[in-house]
Amino acid sequence: MTTRIKEIFQTGQPDQSVTVQGWVRTKRELKEFTFLEVNDGSSLANLQVILEPTLPDYENVLKTISTGTAIAVSGNLVPSPGKGQNIELKAAEITLYGDCPADYPLQKKRHSFEFLRTIAHLRARTNTLGAVMRVRNACATAIHTFFQEKGFIWVHTPIITANDCEGAGELFTVTSLDLKKPANFAEDFFGKRAYLTVSGQLQAEVMAMALSNVYTFGPTFRAENSNTSRHLAEFWMVEPEMAFCDLEGDQDLAEAFLKYIFKFVLENCPEDLQFFNERIDKTVLSTAENIVNSEFGRITYSEAIELLEKADRQFEFPVEWGVDLQSEHERYLAEELFKKPVIVTNYPKTIKAFYMRLDDSNKTVSAMDILAPKIGEIIGGSQREERLDVLIQRMQEQGMNPDDLWWYLELRRYGSVPHAGFGLGFERLVQFMTGMTNIRDVIPFPRTPLSADF
Ligand code: 4AD
Ligand code: MG
């Protein structure tokens, strides 16, 4: 039976006999004995292991162990005289699984995140990327727990689809291809057009029209060739969809949702968040506390434009009613004016998707974006257009053929109800939580215009 290192730090007692398995981070040879730092990914902290010359085959063991070596260590826990941790392991037996030659790229020194991206297959063994993966896991757990506690049903929407939900034309196409034959890219999805989904929303709406409250949590794809620190070509999205819900209910749920996730991670990953706060961004902990304890700002798009027009600065993109908010505007509002997340509602219909509910003014739609400090848009959502005639008109206005979405329109013919939902960009959430500046460093294998190997 092996024990995870996290458990040893939580419940390990002196004299307890344990076996741990992990990778050696460092080896420090002194005259009388040798120290190893071993990590198994369960916690940020390494377990200190002491090897004494009485250990069977001591000299040989020392020769084969180096940074990166995979080992199992059995022995007794002893109180640690050093500062930092209370317990360490005195080795009685060492098993070597895999040695690690000196060209191992993760030698003990600081590596840039840029360099680490070129070794995505190894970088989870570093402190930062390991902590990112644990926080990412905690965020995902919090998301499921939040919705499950509220009785939402997790639905699995397709990855391959015929629709462009957002209408932004940022699609990857799916083509069947026999690698043994010369490529024929015209031969697409069994004679039909098919794409990788940009959002599970339309299918989630189908499910909400039967199950009332549902959510999706899966990969989505955008063929935007943008090399920014906030865009990926493949990212994960969480999309709740609620029948009998309006824009206000949508905002309330989104705010409660973000608060829940931050509280959950604060409680479940305190060491990792502390690490990010010390090493990556010294506002990580105060931001998390602020999310949990403060009410989000709520303004309309028109109010946002007024605030931006009054701003004491020149923006690169000038603002006037009707323009889409750029990241510099979003960040000014959330980071500098509100200093907390702010929900902006009722955007002009011309800059939003066809499915958003038209307001009485006929100029705006019941949209909402949540803007977060340092990130900008983290959530995008809306109340959906439930009136068949208005929906058809909106599709036509945007140059869409209503027949292409005949099944979506039928939802408005058969027992239509007001409904609303939103999409949370999962990697932007993890960025927000950890303070990591580049979105490529919060997903195990980033898909961006420049990555292909992994
Ligand atoms: O605002 P978006 O495009 O909204 C939708 O897709 C809706 N169908 C959601 C819904 O109402 N069910 O995307 C939602 C969120 C954004 O707020 C952002 O956080 C994230 O997805 N996102 C991206 N994250 C990483 N890389 C990209 N290229 C992203 N594009 C959007
Ligand atoms: Mg959006």
Is the confidence at residue 139, as pLDDT, over 70?
yes
Ligand 1 pocket by Cβ (under 6 Å): 165-166, 199, 201, 222, 224, 231-232, 235, 237, 239, 377-382, 421-423, 425, 427-428
Q: Which ligand is nearest to the CA of 231?
A: 1
What would the mean pLDDT of 223-252 be, rounded to a whole number? Answer: 94
pLDDT band per the 50, 70, 90 thresholds, residue 271: very high
Mutate which of 428, 429, 443 to test ligand 1's pocket (most atoms within 8 Å of Cβ)?
A: 428
Q: Which atom of ligand 1 is nearest to the CA of 231?
A: 26
Residue identifier of the C-alpha nearest atom 17 of ligand 1: 379
What would the mean pLDDT of 259-268 be, rounded to a whole number? Answer: 98
349 Cβ partners below 8 Å, 6+ apart?
A: 356, 358, 362, 363, 364, 365, 394
Q: Which atom of ligand 1 is nearest to the CA of 377?
A: 17
Residue identifier of the C-alpha nearest atom 28 of ligand 1: 231
Share of the chain above pLDDT 90, in %: 87
What would the mean pLDDT of 362-377 be, rounded to a whole number? Answer: 97
pLDDT at position 27: 96
pLDDT at position 186: 58
Is the confidence at residue 234, as pLDDT, over 90?
yes
Q: 46 C-alpha vs ligand 2 centroid, how far in Å?
A: 41
Q: Which atom of ligand 1 is nearest to the CA of 241?
A: 12
Q: Which atom of ligand 1 is nearest to the CA of 233?
A: 28
Is the confidence at residue 84, as pLDDT, over 80?
no
What would the mean pLDDT of 249-262 be, rounded to a whole number? Answer: 98
What would the mean pLDDT of 24-32 be, rounded to a whole number? Answer: 95
Lowest mean pLDDT among 127-136, 154-163, 224-233, 255-264: 224-233
pLDDT band per the 50, 70, 90 thresholds, residue 450: low
Residue identifier of the C-alpha nearest atom 15 of ligand 1: 425
Residue identifier of the C-alpha nearest atom 21 of ligand 1: 425
pTM of the model: 0.96
Residue identifier of the C-alpha nearest atom 30 of ligand 1: 231
What would the mean pLDDT of 264-289 be, rounded to a whole number? Answer: 98
pLDDT at position 187: 58
